[in-house]
Structure formats: structure tokens, C-alpha cells
Structure 1
Amino acid sequence: MVRSTAVRQGAVLDVSPAGDRAEDSLDEAVGRALAGLLERQLEALEFLGEHTHSFVEPLRQFVLGRGKRLRPKLVYWGYRGAGGPAAGATARAALRLGCAIELVHAFALIQDDIMDGSRERRFKPAVHVSFENLHRRERWRGDPARFGEAAGLLVADLAFILGDAAVTAAELPPARSAEVWRVFNELRLHLTGGQYLDVIQPCLGRPTEREARRIALYKSARYTVEGPLRLGHAAAGGPLELAATYTAYGNGLGEAFQLRDDVLGVFGDPEVTGKPAGDDIREGKQTMLVLLAGERAGTTGRKLLDAALGRQDVTAEQLDQVRELIVRTGALDEVNRMIDELVLRAKRAVCADGALEEPVRDALVRLADRAAYRAT
């Protein structure tokens, strides 16, 4: 049986046991909490007058629209696994921490689209492209593309700031608050440093497998899985040994999540993912998929990869040839095998004797499958 109760401000959630309805309840509660946070915090921008709507609406649509909300769910179940009650003040705090990590995720995606030159996200123009389009519609002076990137960066900054506001709104006791801030700041440092590794790697040439896995770990894995779980753990004041369990689960699933993202970046269906296929090739990303294909291909195959990687004008035919090479060399099968092994490692961490009880264990097992084998 699933029970859920929600309060308009803070959206208290009581979920037991885990399941599809529980996940739906979490989605709804996070959405309400995010909407309330944006409504309260964005009042401070009313001085923008007629420009207020054009500035804040892209962020509102981004965080309240279509998204998996994996990270807020992991915050919640990390909190519950650490002994946090399903309702009350600390449950509201966990929900607000989920909002904080969702806003950090928005910050990262908006900046990532600018850095990568991506034009679409979630079946819509990327945030910076929406500003570029606004500039053209209004026939303003200057370069629309430059305006779009500048405004997009500011919206990313806004999301980052609101993440801090969400943590502050959690109103945890001082000792727990200090630990939450420590985890939250470490998470953002790892994300930023990992993103820099991702930016600098194409300048240095083909990475080693170890380097590619390090990029995946810090750019995505840590802030996608382990960080949210540890935020929930800190909110509940959980035991140290459980933090080690969360790290083992987080490192395994986090890397699997990024590897799946790499697969979707080359083979994903735009009708499902909401963004063009082949962007990783255009951006010249040396993902594990590309790295393995390059190692296993002959001279002709490596020349084909080198001719396509990092080329914004790469043709559909070249992209198809790259996909065929990745399949033919067994790189796709190998990455899928790695994903299977990493997911199994994550599940073993939370299913070990005494590690976690229901409904938390079941929720984390289900989230592992949904994160690692997703189609978007």
C-alpha cells in the first residue's frame, strides 16, 4: 500500500513502500516544492520590470518541465535509508534538498549546452537558443547568438543561486546543516572540476581508459548519484557505515549512468531523447564508446573517427559510418557489458545483509535499473 500526503508549502511526503505510485508521488511533491521555491525567491527580481518574465520564465520552464528528477529521488531515499522519518520537518528539509540538487542540475545542463553548442534540450530550444530567438523576434541591436549565450549563462547562475536558497530553506539543526553544506559544496566542486576535465581533454588528444572513466566519475557520477544520497544521509544524521554503502552504490550507478548517456549521445532516438543524435561526435567527445572503437579499429577506422570527431559540419552519412564502426568493433557491446557490471555492483552494495531495509532497498534497486537502462 502506498500512502502520500502533501502540504502546499514544503510538500511533506509519506511514501511506503517503494513503487511506481511512490515515484509519481515524489515527482509531484518535488514539482510543488520547486514551484513554491521559485515563486518566493524570484520576487526579488521584480525590479527588472518588463524584462522579469523573459529572464525567469526559461528557468521556470526548465526546472518544472519534463525531467527524470532522479537526483531529488535519491536525496529522499538516501534520507529515508539513514533513518529519516517519512513526514515532519526533516522530511520537508529532505524535499528542499532535492530541489537544491535539481537546480544544480539545471545550472549544469544550461551551461553544458552553451559549451557544447547544443541547440535542443528536452524537445525544446536550449535556454541560450531561446534567448537568441527572443533577440531576433524583437529585432534588438547586436549579435543574437552572443546575447543568447550571455543571457543563458545568467540563467544558469540564477539556478545556482537558487540551489543555495533551497539548502538554506531546509532549516536543519546547526550540526546537520553544516554537514549538508559540506556535502553540497563538495558535490559542486566535483561537478565543476569534472566539467573542466571534459573541456580540456579534446585539446590533449585521445585519453586513456582511466582518464575517460575519471571524467565520467567527476563530471556526472558523483553529483548524479552519490552526492544526492549523501545529502539525504546528512539531513537525517545517518551513521558513517551507511555513507560508505551510499558511496559504493553511487560510484557504480553514477558511472553506469554516464556510460548510458554516452550511448544515447550517439545512438539515441531524437524523438525520445529530445535532442539531436550524434552531438557527442560533433563535439569531439572522447567517451568510452569512442575510445574503445578507436583502439579496436584499424587504420581506416581510426581515420574515419578522426574525420568525424569535433566537426560541426559532420554529415549524416559520416555519423552512420561512425555508428557502424562502433558496433562492428564491439565497442557498443563492451560498454553495455560495463553498464551491466556497474549496475550489479551498485545493487550488491545496497542489498548486502543489513545494509538497508525496505522500502529503501527496493527503491534504490528500481532507480538503478531506470537510470542505467533509460531511453532518454
Structure 2
Amino acid sequence: MRRSTLYSTARKLLAALPVGLLLGAFVAGCEDEPTPSLFDPNYVSRPAPVITSVTPPDTFAGIGIVTINGQNFSSTKEENLVYFDAALGTVLEASATLLKVKAPNLPKDNINLKIAVRNADKFSNIISYRLLEAVSEFKLLDKAESPWAVTLDAQGNAYISFVNNNVASQSGVAKFTPDGTRSSFSPKPTGTPTRYTSLKVGPGGFLYGLTLERRIIQIPAAGGNPTNWVVLPTTTTRLYDMDFDREGNLWLGGNNPEVYRVKQDKTVRNFPFVANVRSVRVFSDHLYLAGNRDGAEKVWRFQIVSADQLGPEEEYFNFSASPFGAGGAGVFAITFAADGDMYVGTDAPEAVVVVHPNKTAEALYPGLFQPKSLSFGWDKSTYLYAIREASGGSTQALLKINTVKGGAPYYGRGDN
């Protein structure tokens, strides 16, 4: 009882005290504690990094390796931050005087390149740098137009089979000159198809097209209406892709028990070959065929002995057995560089794979592609063109790829 009375009296006394007096007492109680400070009078900053040179003078965004020479870098990779404007490069090697950095995917002129080093309170000097575009989207098609096949002539003009997704009857083949000038080259194929699965420039400048049927379509060199050039006799034949050899013979394949040779006089010869062929390419007097047989994705080849004779079948590359063929990924396009590298278009995450002559393979420009790659064409310089089919969130597009090397001859357009 006595304790309760004392507690009640204390509460009354506190309530009667002025608020200012209570606050004063609180503040006075805090005055004895020092105010914390972040300043360390004993801290000594590392010297600011210095850039003396950067090589090469420019490189490809997203894939190029930049060598930076200078002073006061950290030999620990993670302690160096290399900025390309606001984007960070990936430091691959580091010493006190040299950094090797993978450039970010920031194609741009006049980038401010600078370096920050941990425990240095100042950035380096700034160097102006340029990152080039290794892969770009061909922006000259309308948004409603989806590209499906591409080829290029000897003058660098691109011919693109496209589908107008709003008005199918307005689909066709568009021609683009090297300076980007567009013209309507040919209307859509006659009949039901709205697009071509394959286009190739052939002798005389004629454009040849396939529509997953048994007919081979020809378009005049100056453009115009398509006509049936050759119709194969078997009604179940389905032709998907084709290529010319150095003698002007056209080789064709599809999901058939045979491949076909058509001479310029329109005579046809069949050669047994059971597979679902999706890509045909002639390189170094060999006929290359890519597709699926018995569930395996492969590239085969035959020596072209003559228009009437092929050598024995060879398995050139087993894509399914490679690391890139995991999960059932397929081969949808092949072509060759002049040095013998084979470029493979796939629906694997690595949408373009390079197979070297020794059969080792690597992804082209990792991280810069989305699957799947359907159709290839190479200009007379270093640019490979590829159709990307819309899948997995990617949009249908024509890609322009700087391979930094020339393509192998396309004999139909007169290459040697």
C-alpha cells in the first residue's frame, strides 16, 4: 500500500514540472557525449589513377577487349572500376600499370572513359573513346513487315522477302541499295504462300525463290512478277533452301528422300539423301546440307564431282553432339567465311555458332544474339546478314553482323 502511494505522488510531481525544464535536463544529459564524425585525420588516399594510352583506338561494343596503360591501378581486378560513360566494363586482367577490359554493349562515339580505384578519392583523367556496333538491326522495314529470307547481289543490294502482318496481300520482296534506298522489287509469290523460305541471286541477275513447295520461282533481274521457272514432277516434294555452284547449277533440298540438281537448261537430276534439309550451301566444290535425320541435327557434305555425280556422303559436323546442341537445339542456316569457318544459325541460346575447319566450335559474339537464326546472306565485304525469327520474347528482325572477315563466294551472283 505504501509503495503504491509513493508511485502516485511521484507521477503527480513529474506532471507538475514545466516541459522546458524536463527538455533542458534531457539535453544537459546528452552534452557529455561527443558528436560522431566520419572524418579520419589519419586517412591517406591512394594516388589517383592515370591513363596514358588506350588500345585499340576503337573496338566492338559488348565483345571488344580494351588495353589501358597507365599508373596507380590496383593489381586486384575487383578494385578497378572502368567506366564507359555510366556503363562499366569487365576487368579481365589487372596490374599497377595495365588493365585489360571487355567493353560494355554501348555502341557510341565520344564515350568518356575513366577509371576509379578503391581507396583513391579521385577519378583518373578522361579519354574519349569509340565503341562500334558489331550487331545491329536493319531498321528500314516497316513495323508491320516481318523479314523471312535475305540474299545480296554483287553490288551489295539486299533482297528481303517479307510478310505484311496487317495486309498479307501486300507482302513481297523489297530491294535495298547500300545507301538504304528502298524499292518494291516483286509482289508476293503466286498462290497461297505469302513469303519465300529461300532467295538466291542466280546467273543473269535473276532472283530465285522457294516457297516450301515443289516449284522454283524466278523473278526478273530488274524486278517484276514472279513466274514458275521449274516445277519438279513429284507432287510431295518440298523445297526449302538452295544454292548455286560455280557452273551455274542449282542444288536444292528440303524434307525429302532426295536432293536435287537443276541445270540452267532446266534439266533435273535427283540424288538419294534422306533428311529434313533446312539449309543448302556450296563451298569449295562441296555441297553442304544441314538439317535433321533420325532426331540428330547435323551438317553433311558431298564433293561435287560433276553436275551428274556426287562423291560419298560425309558427316561434317554433329551439332546435336556439340555443347550447343543440348536440349534438342536445331540447325536452320549455314554459310561460310572465305577462311573456311562455317557459320551456323540455330535456335539455341547461342543463336549463331562458328565451326572452324578443325571442327572446334564457339559462339559468335556471346550475349549479342537472341534465337533463332533462320537465313543468312553475306555482302561483298565483312557483313553477314541474318534473319532472326520471333521467339522467346525476341522480335522478328534482319540483323547486320560485322564479322571482320569476308564471306565465301556465292557463285550465283558471279563471285569467283
Q: TM-score range by the shorter chain?
A: under 0.3
Normalising by the residue count of structure 1, what TM-score does the alignment of the two structures yield? 0.22
Normalising by the residue count of structure 2, what TM-score does the alignment of the two structures yield? 0.20
- The structure carrying a bigger strand percent of its residues is 2
Larger relative contact order, structure 1 or 2 (CA cutoff 8 Å, min sep 6): 1
Structure with max Cα Rg: 2
